[in-house]
Structure 1
Amino acid sequence: MGVAVTRPKDFFIQLENLRHEAGVAARYVYAEMAIQHAASKSKKLLNRLNDTPTFWIACGAAFQSAAYIALGRMFDTTSRYNVEELLKTLEDNLHLFQPAALAERKRNGKAEDPDWLAEYLAEAYYPTLADVLRIRKKVDGHRAVYERAIKPVRHKYLAHREKQERSEVSALYAAGTVKEIWRLATFLLQLHDVLWQLLHNGRRPVFRAMRYSVKSIFDSSAQGSHAHESMVGEVKKLMALLETATPNPSIERTRPGKPGRASHVRRWAS
């Protein structure tokens, strides 16, 4: 049996998949939690949401399920596109990060080198297998959290209904915390940033701090450009519109009785 060979193209595909999936997971996680946070800050908004409780309960359940499934796509190792496959193609294609390849990307199709290129290449960082192993160690640490806190819910309740009793379902969700889910989602964003900067700019693979608390992002006067922050910003804008909107009297008169309250549904562990 021959040894599997990964092509340079495979790394670019895996990196693009990480960009996409990290954004998807972050948006699902932070959309639901930002709604909950907004409702906790304003009784008026909470009452508005409870005018249509079934809709918001459905939204919350959909966001939560999609978030767990999206995280699974990246941390499970049984598919073609996940973090483990990304690291394999990274290790097999370290030549993509060496001076000649970086120079080619910086030329951007031009025949002649720009004046600054030689100095840029001299100061750039070129990864070794030791860097891959260090990144892999970080991934393994986050995968351990996924295996404990996310995978059981995903496999035993969301994808397959092995648990049904409320106490059993609650126990599955209680294995993880909100903070851990935030950190899993933002780690994928960090990982993409690190690998993209290493590939395109020759920057040392350093995992820089990233805001992950929904409260700190929501209550800030400005949101950043990362997927989770921009999603919190959009939710904040939507909640402000709902809170200040003028109710339609005709809809108010025909509205059916409230089947429940949107505020009480939260599977996330605290």
Structure 2
Amino acid sequence: MPDSPRAEPSLRALQDSGGAEGQQDEESHLSTVAPAHRRLIAIVTVATLAFGLGIGWLTAPRSERISVPSMTAAQQKSEQAIAKTGKVDPDSLEFAGTKHGAAVWTATHGKEACLVLVLDGQQSIGCADPAKGMWGAGMIGVGAETTLDDGIKRSVSATMMKDLRGERVIGIDYWDTDPDDTSWEQQYSQEDRRLIGALKKVDLAGPNLMLVGRDDGVAIWAHFVDDKCVAVVDPDTLQVSKSCEPGDSSRAVQVRYREATYSAKWTERGGVTLTIFRDPLDKKS
């Protein structure tokens, strides 16, 4: 589920040489993924959105290969607060470690597997069927946002999944957004930036905005923060047609514009598949 925009994580895992926050015994099971420059593909029907300025990997503490990291006093207090929420089985809470300022726990809630993230006192708890997860393939994700001392907004997310050996791992990733920095717009043409101006007025802008395709010159936009949204801006009137679904929904998001319906579906790996439907009597079909 992170930049101004600044980076796209590569898929090459590197052995962590430090930088893990918290106790020393955490470092034995942390690794990180090297960041690369982030690019968004504009004129395509499938676009991949990768967040992050560095991803840390926490191997969940159930593995016999590692020891459970110790908690600070503040983290122990957070664990006690999590246990009282009623959203997890208190006895199932296991501390996984810390990365990028966030502390992470695993737990269960009945038959569901749960992931918990705490960032600057904020709790984010996500539970799902361990086989299906939230987005398929057993993936469960949580996230929170904080403001740094210099005014930069930092979003931290954690995703629990299984590696190739079937062992549970947790990927933690973060991205920074400068509210006063519009550099993410520079990848777009002058005409596209004119349309983005209209999207800003309906809160569909920022580094999480993607141009996922064009239909006879009409730009189709996708945006995913809390909700998944698809939008089209009329180039003449700058009127925005948009449609949104909750972020955890598996339904396709569809928006109607003129004679066409644009349907976008987010894939398990964070990409967007765009399908265009036309009325039978439309001469373009």
**TM-score of the alignment, normalized to the shorter chain, above 0.5:** no
Give the structure, 1 or 2, with the largest relative contact order (CA under 8 Å, sep 6 or more): 1
Q: Which one has a larger percent helix, Structure 1 or Structure 2?
A: 1
Q: Which one has a larger percent strand, Structure 1 or Structure 2?
A: 2
TM-score, normalising length: structure 2: 0.26
Larger Rg: 1
